[in-house]
């Protein structure tokens, strides 16, 4: 299998000048959804100043309810591009539909496949053909085997620039939004050469849990973190309860850095 350690021992995935899988743990941060240019610009400046090397923001949002904010779509992509250029930080954004891959690949430095689309095989194949680096999130109820097979769909189209992202799985526990499967991080490293990052924002759904789980994910060997940050989480159009303020994000970095250094990595 192309994702296996038998095929290859390590992978460095490069996206917009950022390297995943090297000595540096990568920090990706930004709002769940792009809401307007001011919101994204302020967030991009703040997360870059704090130490993030990639911006995130959803323009096409896969929401549980069809009545919830669905994203600014193409307008959101334009805002992402403008802000990314003005602040000089590359960005990743989600693609939900195979027909939008080309459009989004024109704008973004990196594509994201969300948990709900992990087994959208048509989308995986299109992203495999797009030749852009991609973050492949673990499905809400996907086994590690199914997740690696989903990655295989992208790799087998000739795109080796895949970063896996553990974002929590559905369990019986309702006190958290999902259960962040920390064991997936070292386990995937024993099976695959692909870099793996963690998303403690969706993994917990709760702001006070994001920093502790970020420390734990880095200690477990994650190649980076994906963190939701918003200028005003109380009024966010999506995922406010798990979004960090700028101050929270600075504190997260201060707490995670010594953990990274303790295992010989930089942050
Ligand atoms: C997101 O990153 O905003 C998102 C929708 O995540 P997930 O696909 O992990 O739910
Ligand atoms: Mn979100």
Nearest ligand 1 atom, CA 114: 8
Residue nearest to atom 1 of ligand 1 (CA): 32
Select the CATH number that applies to the domain covering 13-262 from these four: 3.40.228.10, 3.20.20.70, 3.60.110.10, 3.40.50.2000: 3.20.20.70
Report which bound ligand comes closest to the CA of 168: 1
Per-residue model confidence as pLDDT tens digits over 14-28 = 999 999 999 999 999
Per-residue model confidence as pLDDT tens digits over 96-123 = 999 999 999 999 999 999 999 999 999 9
Residue 151 near residue 136, CB atoms below 8 Å: yes
Say what the pLDDT of residue 149 is: 98
Residue nearest to atom 3 of ligand 1 (CA): 32
Residue 232: count other Cβ atoms within 10 Å of its Cβ: 12
| Start-to-end CA span in the chain (Å) | 31
Residue nearest to atom 4 of ligand 1 (CA): 114
Say what the pLDDT of residue 135 is: 99
Q: Which tokens hold the place of 199?
A: 């998303």
Domain ranges of the chain: 13-262
pTM: 0.98
What is d(CA 169, CA 99) in angstroms, rounded to the nearest whole number?
27
Say yes or no: CB of residue 193 within 6 Å of ligand 1: no
- Report CA(6)–ligand 1 centroid distance (Å): 30
Report which bound ligand comes closest to the CA of 59: 1
- Report CA(136)–ligand 2 centroid distance (Å): 15
Say yes or no: CB of residue 59 within 6 Å of ligand 1: no
Say yes or no: CB of residue 138 within 6 Å of ligand 1: no
Residue nearest to atom 9 of ligand 1 (CA): 115
Say yes or no: CB of residue 114 within 6 Å of ligand 1: yes
∠ CA(223), CA(142), CA(71), 5° rounding? Answer: 75
Torsion, Cα of 249, 255, 256, 259 (10° steps): 180
Per-residue model confidence as pLDDT tens digits over 113-160 = 999 999 999 999 999 999 899 999 999 999 999 999 999 999 999 999
Nearest ligand 1 atom, CA 138: 9
Say what the pLDDT of residue 263 is: 95
Residue 49: count other Cβ atoms within 10 Å of its Cβ: 12
Residue nearest to atom 8 of ligand 1 (CA): 114
What is d(CA 265, CA 260) in angstroms, rounded to the nearest whole number?
5
Mean pLDDT by 10 residues, the chain (267 residues): 96 98 98 98 98 98 94 98 98 98 98 98 98 97 98 98 98 98 98 98 98 98 98 98 98 98 96
Say yes or no: CB of residue 137 within 6 Å of ligand 1: yes
């Amino acid at each position: 299998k192309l994702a296996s350690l038998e095929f290859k021992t390590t992978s460095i995935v490069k996206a917009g000048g950022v390297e995943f899988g090297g000595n540096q743990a990568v920090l990706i941060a930004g709002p769940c959804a792009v809401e307007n240019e001011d919101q994204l610009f302020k967030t991009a400046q703040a997360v870059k100043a704090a130490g993030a090397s990639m911006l995130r923001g959803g323009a096409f949002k896969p929401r549980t309810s069809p009545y919830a904010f669905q994203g600014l779509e193409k307008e959101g992509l334009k805002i992402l591009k403008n802000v990314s250029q003005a602040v000089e930080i590359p960005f990743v954004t989600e693609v939900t539909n195979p027909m939008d891959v080309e459009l989004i690949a024109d704008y973004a430095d990196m594509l994201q496949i969300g948990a709900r689309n992990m087994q959208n095989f048509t989308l995986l194949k299109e992203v495999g053909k797009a030749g852009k680096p991609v973050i492949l999130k673990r499905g809400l109820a996907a086994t590690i085997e199914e997740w690696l097979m989903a990655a295989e769909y992208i790799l087998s189209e000739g795109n080796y620039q895949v970063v896996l992202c553990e974002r929590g799985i559905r369990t019986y526990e309702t006190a958290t939004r999902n259960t962040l499967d920390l064991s997936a991080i070292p386990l995937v490293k024993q099976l695959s050469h692909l870099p793996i990052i963690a998303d403690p924002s969706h993994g917990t759904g709760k702001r006070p849990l994001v920093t502790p789980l970020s420390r734990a994910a880095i200690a477990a060997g994650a190649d980076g973190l994906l963190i939701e940050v918003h200028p005003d989480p109380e009024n966010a159009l999506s995922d406010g309860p798990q979004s960090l303020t700028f101050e929270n994000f600075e504190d997260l970095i201060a707490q995670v850095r010594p953990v990274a250094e303790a295992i010989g990595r930089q942050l």
